[in-house]
Structure 1
């Protein structure tokens, strides 16, 4: 029995030594490949991803303690197979190095890029197998010390050591360790701005590590990496480091691939921060970002409201670049997608973003505006104002602003609006809107009054004039009173409107009452009211209404102070009868 036991022990020791030898061979092969790969000049980012995976594999294998196991045969077979496959992967990657040095392609760049992707995917599989073998208990993995997070007020050195330790875990840890490290990194980045500067300036290839994590098949790791990059992108001084570090291409790949909505939302937020004020717009467009973002809006049911909102915000930043805006309109098909989004059952937040983006596209040039209008945008925006459709005041305000940007510069557009009962909608919100919404409606009415005589007639027929008088009388804001008074004065330039206005005695009486001397010099609103009376005094009926009002003496007081329009009105009223009424206070 002793001889059999000794023989078994000797065999176990021999197997352990063989396993140690194969493990050492695999580790040496990985080290050699990593060194050789730095000479590759083509596809440096893909090579960085391959090196990252080999580094993780090397760290995982080096962390293993080789000891005899009770299930030696099964464990030996699984681990031996993994080591053999790792060496094969090293050999395949090594064959790609000379092809990546620019001397010859061996099938072209597309083939080379595809081969690098295959190697990276194969290494992901090997990493997963290693985690499975370790999780089964067949192998013993050394336990690394866990560095605790520094307390508030810790020295810069302590914080630097902690952040570098987190990145070490991100580089070489297994899936669970990387998840924990990424979550911890996000926590410190959000809590302490100086950690952002440390990642960018003090951690070797810190940006590169985070960019590499964007290719992780683990959704949790990918989302945590996107969160970390988003925090860094929120600092203007660090945006350039992210772009130079190659973050844009993998972020756009997240939008294009089958990543979950959570990852895509994070990716869109990253692009939104990177493209504020049209910064980095060309880099996003060059990597297919415009098409990816438009596709998200097109499939809004699957994308969800938050993702569509984020995509629209990025597109709104990109539209500031003329060439990108033209591509968006002519080639990417953004306009019909956005109009469909506005007309469909999408969430209100997404529809608001679509309205703002359409207005931004149309503001660029006349050809873009025409494309936007031809898709029925004006009618869709008017429909958004329908009081019978439940919408928030915010949505209606945005619709009014978008109509202002889109339609008021073109007579054809005004005809579209009037045909879509836009005047009725504006009048409704002048009467019933909250303060902000009423102000937006008043701005629309003010713009409409300066378009054409036909528009003024339509507004007079719709009943705008009494509402404008009421606003001048009731509004607390000087700007609001002035805007309403100016719109009223513009409408009085049309004979039909004057005739309609004086039919109600209250209209003229209210204007004269508002001329009360409550200040030394007439306010702008009062000057527009005087202009309105100048128009009314052109007709006999208007003059009679003015003279019969109990507030006509307000004109006398203004004329005494040599207000030109007040004297002009009195002169039109004229004659000895009026002079007697005013007691001959001044001579004409």
Structure 2
């Protein structure tokens, strides 16, 4: 006769411990048919008995424990019925059918034992009944100002339900977890989830075999953890989160889900200690495909290229980027992407060009990168984009093919002049000055003449102490521009700039290294004509040069000799004429 269904979880637990488990354990030890399978089952049954006995007295009041006990009853009854069949010498239904039925029950029992062990480890069953009994389907989400203990209990409960409950219960647990993470201005909730929750279980929900609704919400939760703070992001990475996130990005998931996955990948690869793992997971081809036209939304492309930018300093990534035809993709993003996408694409090209060899630089030029780079430089108003684009162009100037294209573009040099004159960024000004210094000697006199408006700003930059190399960059650019006589004459007529320049020769003015002021002075004195030299003398340069020569500053004696000789020649010429 079949026993009546128990009225409560406590009654069911008593029936399992006092009736079903002892009889099934006895049968497992004595049955002869399928002996090895029953011995394995005996170990699981003993573990089940131990777990149930160790459960707190209040455990039957917890809904998850009650559900597990309710599921154990039919499994153990089926196992008891199978033991009776195995003890029948005739093996009713046949040996193969009996073996199959036994394996199915054993599998079900194994899953239930796993869930019970997980619930016991969570500590939820040990919660003091006077403080909080989690009897709701899902606990109420704690307010942002709630105590840490309340949030910790909620997180452990949510993860237990996430792994044990039905699909509906898992979805509700995920939604409540997202509510907690969403109301998290200080990232405290993310840290609690990372330390108190089972992030590995959350990542398993990203698998393609998971229900799509579960997977989409799980991606959102993982993205919250990856972007909230360094501690929770590190846990996601340490638990192997980069691989599942890349698979979601490469799947046919909804656009919003792929975007959140890509945002998490950007955050993880932004940590220098994690960037190397992208190649290990084979992620670069996935990111390149996500950047291709038509592969996703502009937001997805922006995230994907930002992740590539994060890892572009890794040697393997740079070589793979070229091998996987990533250069044309980056060029397309430069030509048609948003400002943020263009910035990341330009920085990728900068990394490739600056850290690669001449072959890589030529490949970038051959892919047509210079045209969209120059276009972005001309029309963009965002200073960060200017910085990124100029970095890429600057890194390409050592390639002969790039030099030929740039030197044939007067508009490019006009833009460099504008950036020097109007940019508030020393970094932009320095890069522009470097390119003028490197390229101006090979451009036409008309182009040099058009760059004359930036001479005054370059003179001022020679007074700037930081960054350390900006004085050298400005000095080199001035030397390149002063190869044109009209630029030299125009400079000495600008009293303000000339006064600043001569002040740099003063030994008391220690903010400026004297190397480049002396080099520029020699160029002016040797090739500027009597009018130029006279203005240099009238501005008071001779006394400064004399002091520098007395101090044996390299180049000072030669400059003094040049200006003095020309001054004497000028005086003799005037006297002879008189």
User: What is the TM-score normalised by the length of structure 1?
Assistant: 0.64
1:251 partner SS: helix
Q: Is the 8 A contact 1:356 1:398 kept in 2?
A: yes
2:382 corresponds to which of 370, 392, 413: 392
**Is residue 381 of structure 2 the alignment partner of residue 355 of structure 1?**
no
Corresponding residue for residue 305 of structure 2: 312
Q: 1:213 to 1:169 in 2, by over 3 A?
A: farther
Q: How far 1:294 moved relative to its partner?
A: 0.8
Question: Given that residues 200 and 206 in structure 1 are in contact (C-alpha distance below 8 angstroms), is that contact kept between their aligned partners in structure 2?
Answer: yes
**Secondary structure of the structure 1 residue equivalent to 2:247:** helix
Q: Is the 8 A contact 2:226 2:264 kept in 1?
A: yes
Q: CA deviation at 1:536?
A: 1.9
> Counterpart in 1 of 2:147?
154
Q: Is residue 207 from structure 1 mapped to residue 195 from structure 2 by the alignment?
A: no
- Distance in 2 between residues matched to 1:520 and 1:360, nearest whole Å: 42
Report the number of matched residues.
Answer: 454
User: Against the structure 1 CA distance between its residues 233 and 458, is the aligned structure 2 distance closer, same or farther, given a 3 Å change threshold?
Assistant: farther
Q: Is residue 256 of structure 1 aligned with residue 257 of structure 2?
A: no
**What's 1:326 paired with?**
319
CA shift in 2, pair 1:439/1:459, >3 Å: farther
Residues 375-431 of structure 1: CA deviation (Å, up to 9, x unaligned):
011222112122xx45433322321121112x1323332222122442232123334
Structure 2 unaligned blocks of 5 or more: 5-15, 22-36, 45-63, 72-96, 108-134, 572-578
Whether 1:382 aligns to 2:410 is no
| Residues 434 and 476, structure 2, Cα contact 8 Å, conserved in 1 | yes
Distance 1:247 1:554, change over 3 A: closer
Q: 2:327 aligns with which of 324, 335, 341?
A: 335
* Alpha-carbon spacing, 1:393–1:318, altered in 2? closer, same or farther (3 Å): closer
Structure-1 residue corresponding to 2:51: none
Decide whether the 8 Å contact of 2:207 with 2:215 is kept in 1. yes
Q: 1:254 offset after TM fit, Å?
A: 1.3
Q: Distance in 2 between matches of 1:263 and 1:510?
A: 58
Cα deviation for residue 548 of structure 1 reads 4.6
Matched-pair contact (CA < 8 Å) for 1:559–1:567: yes
Residues 1:178 and 2:170 aligned together: yes
Partner of 2:501: 514
1:439 Cα deviation after fit: 5.2
Q: Is the 8 A contact 2:200 2:239 kept in 1?
A: yes
Judged with a 3 Å threshold, the aligned counterparts in structure 2 of structure 1 residues 294 and 479 are, in CA distance, closer, same or farther, namely: same
Determine if contact 1:555/1:566 at 8 Å carries over to the other structure.
Answer: no
1:92 and 1:397 map into 2 onto residues whose CA distance is 69
| Residue 512 of structure 2, aligned match among 524, 528, 535 | 524
Find the counterpart in structure 1 of residue 114 from structure 2: none
Distance 1:59 1:326 in 2: 55
Q: Does structure 1 conserve the Cα–Cα contact (< 8 Å) formed by 2:158 and 2:173?
A: yes
Tell me how far 1:258 sits from its aligned partner: 1.7
Counterpart pick for 2:355 among 351, 364, 388: 364
**How far does the alpha carbon of each residue in 1:445-493 deviate from its partner, in whole angstroms, 9 at most, with x for none?**
32441468425x6686343244223442599844588356403442267
CA contact (8 A) 1:226 1:266 kept: yes
User: In the alignment, is residue 424 of structure 1 matched against residue 414 of structure 2?
Assistant: yes
Among residues 248, 254, 264, which one is paired with 1:270 in the alignment? 264
Higher relative CO (CA 8 A, sep ≥ 6), structure 1 or 2?
1
SS at match of 1:308: helix
Separation in 2 of the partners of 1:475 and 1:93? 86
Report deviation, 1:505: 5.3
* Alignment-derived partner of residue 555 in structure 1: 542
CA contact (8 A) 2:525 2:532 kept: no
Partner residue in 2 for 1:4: none
> In the alignment, which residue of structure 2 is the partner of 1:449?
437
Tell me how far 1:352 sits from its aligned partner.
Answer: 1.5
SS in 2 for 1:537: helix
CA-based RMSD: 4.6
Contact between 2:413 and 2:436, CA under 8 Å: does it hold in 1? no
Shift in alpha-carbon separation, 1:62–1:357, aligned structure 2, 3 A: farther
Listed as ranges, the gaps of 5+ residues in structure 1 are: 1-12, 14-23, 40-55, 64-87, 99-142, 582-588
Q: Report the Cα offset of residue 353 of structure 1.
A: 1.4
Residue 456 of structure 2: aligned partner: 469
The 1:460–1:479 alpha-carbon spacing in structure 2 relative to 1, beyond 3 Å, is: farther
Structure 1 residue 166: Cα displacement? 0.8
Task: Output the CA distance in 2 between the equivalents of 1:251 and 1:576.
Answer: 74
1:585 aligns with none
Going from structure 1 to structure 2, the CA distance change for 1:452 and 1:476 (only over 3 Å counts) comes to closer
For 1:168, the equivalent position in structure 2 comes to 160
What displacement does 1:278 show?
5.2
Against the structure 1 CA distance between its residues 313 and 147, is the aligned structure 2 distance closer, same or farther, given a 3 Å change threshold?
Answer: same
For residues 243 and 311 of structure 1, what CA distance do their matches in structure 2 show? 18
Q: Residues 477 and 94 of structure 1: is their aligned pair in 2 closer, same or farther, counting only changes over 3 Å?
A: farther
Q: TM-score, normalised by structure 2?
A: 0.65
Q: Distance in 2 between matches of 1:159 and 1:439?
A: 47
